[in-house]
Amino acid sequence: MVFITVLLAIYLGGSTYFTKHFYLGSQINGINIGGLTVNEAKDLLSSEIPKYKLELKLRDGKKEEINGDSIDLTYDPKDKIENLKENQNAFYWPKSIFSKSNSTLNDIVTFNQELLDKQINSLSCINENIINPKNPSFKYTSNGYQIIPEEKGNKIKKEVLYEAVKNAIINGETKINLEQMNCYDNPKFNVDSKEVNKAKDLLDKYTNLRITYDFEDSKEILDGSTIKNWLYVNDDMEVMINEKNVSQYVYSLASKYNTFSKSREFHTSLGETVTVTGGNYGWIVDKPAETKSLIEIIKKGKSVTKKPAYSQTAVSRSENDIGNTYLEVNFAKQHIWYYKDGQLIADGDVVTGNVSNNFGTPVGTYRLTYTEKNATLKGENYSAPVNYWMPFNGNIGLHDATWRTEFGGQIYLTSGSHGCINAPYELAEKIFQNIKAGTPVVCY
């Protein structure tokens, strides 16, 4: 009975005491006010708040501080301490023995926002040795692509940091961890991101293929060692193909394998070897079409053997792209020969362009454009009907010239054509019956 009486006396005494005092272990914004009256708590808070320091823990383990006096931190509790005490039931004081009460009171302090902004702007973590975050990258090796891990860096999100610091000051917190408060700019992806591994798989797919270009007498092999230079991964981890780089490769192929208008060593019917320059004959790689085709093949990721896209073809893809079916025109001899599949079909004297009037037939290797029967050739001050018309260089071509009685010799020097090759009727007819569009025409 005595024991109960003692306990009751202690309880009632405690209740009376805590009517005017805060529970033991009570805290306001981290400051211990346990056992203090309202006024004592105010005095303590008033003395402690100006000493306030906020410690910022950085990602690299370093620390920085913001002092209360540097931002004009001022204690201004209004009625909040009284209200907090009024909400404390004195008769429940025993529970404070077993649990601490940490209350957060907003707006019991004020500070100069401009000074806080200035303090944040002067922090080393904002200004010095800033390293931007980097997504994972990829390195090409002989065994495929290797993922290079992301770099977190140390770039601060200033707006987030400002809010975190402001809230910490208002709440009386003395330490904040910038990593935990999401104050850093972070990479969008890491090595475990599905997008990263998907990109690696695609890079491997694109560079594991082998494309063989077939030029008949030679081949060009394209593989990952070259294709890797055309690939890049954008900020969204999408594998991209640099069309400009692909186009440059196709241009190099065209430069090497185009034969259009190139000089050719030609073995004549008279047994000589001459160099023939110019003309419109030869292979032309269609660079835009081939660039598009090559990109599509890479995206499919399957090895192929292919011929490039051509905007113009020739008879043969071998070193002698003229082949063994062609029309040969010797200006000095004023003579032509037509060979089909290596066999001489027809030859004879002709008259070429009038040299004295600057109408000389141009030298070069050309391709027969088309053949037409019963055509009318028109030009300045003339109109001439012909039976067999075989153009190969614009409006210059081979045709019969029934108005002439003589061919060959030196006629072309002063009385030649307007640039065409005039042939006797029978010779023109024989060639017309055996020739087709695309046949090489070699003029020298």
Query: Would you name the residues annotated as active-site residues?
Result: 399, 420
Task: Enumerate residues 6+ apart whose C-beta is below 8 A from 150.
Answer: 133, 134, 135, 136, 187, 189, 190, 191
Nearest-angstrom CA–CA distance, 441 and 444:
10
Nearest-angstrom CA–CA distance, 128 and 382:
85
Record the tokens describing residue 60, joined without a space: 């690299």
Task: Enumerate residues 6+ apart whose C-beta is below 8 A from 228.
Answer: 140, 207
CA-nearest of 244, 256, 263 to 213 is 256
Longest dimension (CA), the chain: 157
Sheet containing 335-340: give its strands across.
Answer: 343-349, 335-340, 326-330, 440-443, 364-367
Give one DSSP letter per residue of 190-255, joined into a string.
Answer: -TT-HHHHHHHHHHHHHHS--EEEE-SS-EEEE-HHHHGGGEEE-TTS-EEE-HHHHHHHHHHHHH
Nearest-angstrom CA–CA distance, 280 and 391:
12
DSSP state of 320: S
Record the tokens describing residue 152, joined without a space: 């977190």
Integer-rounded Cα Rg, in Å, for the chain is 47
> In one letter, which amino acid is 105?
L
